[in-house]
Amino acid sequence: MAPVRPVSDTRYGETLTDPYRWMEDKGPEFMAWLHTQDAATRAYFDAMPGYKTFVGQEKTAFRSVVGLSGLQRVGDMLYYQRQGLADAQPSLYVRPLAGGAERRLVDPVALVGSTANITYYAPSPDNRFLMYAMSKDGSEEASLYTLDIRTGRALPEVIDRGRQAVPSWSASGDVVFYTRMKAHFADAADRFEDLTVLAHRPGDDPDQDRPVATGIGLGSSLGRQAWVTITGLPDSEYVLAQANSGVSENSEWFVAREADFKGSGSPKWRCIAALDDKVDLAPVIHGHFAYMVVFKTTPRREIVRIDLDHPDVSRAQVIAPQQDQVVRNLAGAADGLYVAYGDPSGFRLERIDYESGARVPIALPYAGSIGDLAADPRTPGVTLGLQSYVRPTAALDVVDDRARDLHLAPPFALDLTPLTVETIYATARDGTRIPVSVLHRKDLKRDGSAPTVAEAYGAYGVSQDPAFMPGFMPFLLHGGVLAEAHVRGGGDYGEEWHLGGKGPTKPNTWRDFIASVQALEAQGFTSKAKLTGIGISAGGIMIGRTVTERPDLLKAAIMWAPMTNMLRFETTEGGPSNTAEFDSTETPQGYAALRAMDAYSHVVDHTVYPATLITVGVNDHRVPPWMGAEMAARLQAANSSGQPVMLRVDFEGGHHDMGVAKDDMAQQFADTFAFALQAAGDPQFQPQSSAAPTTQPATGAQ
């Protein structure tokens, strides 16, 4: 049992007592407690007779897929990250678009180790140099490296503080722009202030790199809090700068002349879109025009064009009016704009002529979600990643409005023909229809007997698009059901959907999930005795408040790197920037919103809560490990169900799946689904001994 050391806070007439505030210090006592908890969790899983076999099935699944990501086109070359069948992490490759031999440019495992991964990369427009960032142990603290692509020689300079680097080359390829964090900061609130973009010449001393943009220097309304990046534009006289809060889809956009970066003077930045203009995605610059995706009055997005000599978004020409589906991605090639539209019903791709606005639909080989859209404004066509719930990502090249598979990865080795996907709809408390994607075997009997894992996210306007995850497959083939609830707070239906679960409307997020679970039961997919709910990161708000508002709803709950203590989240290093999404305790209204979504403060002693598994990473900089640990300790003290409350700790990992090697990810999925199967009563997963931390005496109630 965790020691109780109550700390009381009074705000706006309400006093709350926190029994585990001491964990926030991450001192030796906290680390020792984490080790004790994790050891009990490991013993619990090891006592399941079917567990080792299931771990083997998960490892086989992960080793049976080749992962593709990070597609970029530069001239006639295609760059991509690929994780081979036996690779712990993805490597970076290049090959001619027309076909031919590929080259591996960067192998992070060989350079740093199995927990290293490439977080950003940018080839120069002449395909001579590559700047890339690597981090390790899931920490996201990255360093930048430069490679001579032609010779394969690594340049001597190494640039630290590259967590938000996002490198991009000037049109001439003479310099690369990157964003650097400051060397010294006073506290968490200060860490992400004053991000600076610098210009670096390959081979130069990074300490002599020239600052070219800051939030203050741009004149951003976000000031010192602006997260600033610069994008060089091949074949353009302009350079594009972005200022963002760090968590918002809405950015300010600025342009300067490429010529401004030739001498020693300062570039002259002009704002072409303010925050109030509501511009999402990076504008495409073609000639003297900027093509922008806006959502000020069109929540599912429309595409407009402005003259960069006289920028005024309010008087922009509409190129593509708002459609039924949401604009998800935009890329500019020589032959037009390529636009991906999507919502829970599916995705489609079209090309739009720059001048006439004529739209040409592009047929795709199968239904799925479109990820990367990679284009070069100097050449026609686009390369994209296409995947579905039951198909891994394939790289498709579109030329002359026809898509062809580049065959960069073989098909998934396991037979998935027994599986199917369908969409059902739940009715929320206010009457809103909530789509739920359901994956299951085709021979499923809808008698409520199937073990089911239901997931939702619902934050930042992020859409839960169909994605292939090998870790799902052993559970599905075992007869389990997976359900993805497209709850409000996400962006599945655009900004209106986002605002429906943001700040004061956040309760819609977990209540949409509750309605979704009830729909699964009503349609015979599952029953309470077989049902596990899961939330990841900001989805921890959803699952945490589902458990605390409706403790009777689920048989089990799983929380990965969960945001559960939202009244304290503002004190974390990423907390200040997240106030744009979740609000701040500095106002009565903000406090009320955060109090409503704070699961930790809603735990009540002597309550029957479901079995719970919480996973944290010691190197997590997004959601610190003390947050999930406090929730575990509080539930262990309050739960009167006799069901286990377990804490799984990754002592070498960071946030969720960042920097996690294949076999370690397989282990995490095995733990997740073994826990769900145990809760559902599967005889292969019933522990042979009581090794888990279960109900403990209630102490330190909030």
pLDDT at 690 over 60: no
pLDDT number for residue 123 = 98
Q: Which letter, b or e, does each residue of 624-655 get, where b requires 16 or more Cβ atoms within 10 Å of its Cβ? A: bbbbbbbbbbbbbbbbebebbbbbbbbebbbb
Rounded to two decimals, what is the model's pTM?
A: 0.93
N residues, the chain: 702
What is d(CA 43, CA 35) in angstroms, rounded to the nearest whole number?
A: 12
**CATH 2.60.120.10 for domain 115-275:** no
Are the C-beta atoms of residues 58 and 467 closer than 8 Å to each other?
Answer: no
142 CB neighbour count, 10 Å cutoff: 23
Map tokens 């585990």 to a residue.
20
What is d(CA 389, CA 472) in angstroms, rounded to the nearest whole number?
A: 9
Confidence grade of residue 519 (pLDDT, cut at 50, 70, 90): very high
Whole-angstrom CA distances from 358 to 351, 558, 561 are 8, 48, 46
Instruction: Count Cα atoms within 13 angstroms, Cβ side, for 448.
Output: 9
Residue 681 zone, left/alpha/beta (φ > 0; ψ -120 to 50; rest): left
H or E element that contains 535:
strand 531-536
Residues 451-493 have pLDDT tens digits of: 999 999 999 999 999 999 999 999 999 999 999 999 999 999 9
Q: Locate 222 and state its tokens.
A: 């976000």
Residues 204-261 have pLDDT tens digits of: 999 999 999 999 999 999 999 999 999 999 989 999 999 999 889 999 999 999 988 8
pLDDT at 358 over 60: yes
What is d(CA 116, CA 110) in angstroms, rounded to the nearest whole number?
A: 9
Confidence grade of residue 656 (pLDDT, cut at 50, 70, 90): confident
Q: Locate 643 and state its tokens.
A: 């069901």
Residues 86-134 have pLDDT tens digits of: 899 999 999 999 999 999 999 999 999 888 999 999 999 999 999 999 9
Homologous superfamily in CATH for domain 23-61+414-685: Alpha/Beta hydrolase fold, catalytic domain (3.40.50.1820)
Residues of the chain by 3-state class (helix, strand, coil), percent to 5: 25, 35, 40
What is d(CA 31, CA 24) in angstroms, rounded to the nearest whole number?
A: 11
Q: Residue 370: beta bridge partners?
A: 386
Q: Where in the sequence of the chain do the CATH 2.130.10.120 domains occur? A: 115-275
Q: Where in the sequence of the chain do the CATH 3.40.50.1820 domains occur? A: 23-61+414-685
Residues 22-80 have pLDDT tens digits of: 999 989 999 999 999 999 999 999 999 999 999 999 999 999 999 999 999 999 999 99
pLDDT number for residue 480 = 97
Percent of the chain residues past pLDDT 90, beyond the cut? 88
Q: Residue 331: beta bridge partners?
A: 338
Confidence grade of residue 696 (pLDDT, cut at 50, 70, 90): very low
Of the listed ranges 102-106, 354-358, 379-383, 533-537, the least confidently predicted one is: 354-358
Confidence grade of residue 695 (pLDDT, cut at 50, 70, 90): very low
pLDDT at 657 over 90: no
- Taking alpha carbons only, the member of 127, 170, 337, 349 closest to residue 259 is 170
Residues 273-328 have pLDDT tens digits of: 999 999 999 999 999 999 999 999 999 999 999 999 999 999 999 999 999 999 99
- Taking alpha carbons only, the member of 520, 547, 335, 319 closest to residue 438 is 520
Q: Which amino acid is at 27?
A: G
Are the C-beta atoms of residues 602 and 545 closer than 8 Å to each other?
Answer: yes
What is d(CA 502, CA 586) in angstroms, rounded to the nearest whole number?
A: 17
SS3 category, 568? coil
Q: Locate 600 and state its tokens.
A: 């930790």
Q: Locate 574 and state its tokens.
A: 């990423």
The residue that leads in pLDDT, 156 or 700, is 156
Which whole number is the average pLDDT over 418-446? 97
SS3 category, 510? helix
pLDDT at 599 over 50: yes
What is d(CA 635, CA 633) in angstroms, rounded to the nearest whole number?
A: 6
What is d(CA 668, CA 674) in angstroms, rounded to the nearest whole number?
A: 10
Q: Residue 616: beta bridge partners?
A: 649
What is d(CA 65, CA 391) in angstroms, rounded to the nearest whole number?
A: 10
Confidence grade of residue 698 (pLDDT, cut at 50, 70, 90): very low
Residues 365-395 have pLDDT tens digits of: 999 999 999 999 999 999 999 999 999 999 9
Q: Locate 373 and state its tokens.
A: 């859209």
DSSP string over 247-314: S-S-BEEEEEEGGGGTSSS----EEEE-GGG-EEEEEEEETTEEEEEE-SS-TT-EEEEEETTS--GG
Map tokens 């005889």 to a residue.
683
pLDDT number for residue 189 = 66
H or E element that contains 666:
helix 662-679
Map tokens 């079917």 to a residue.
50
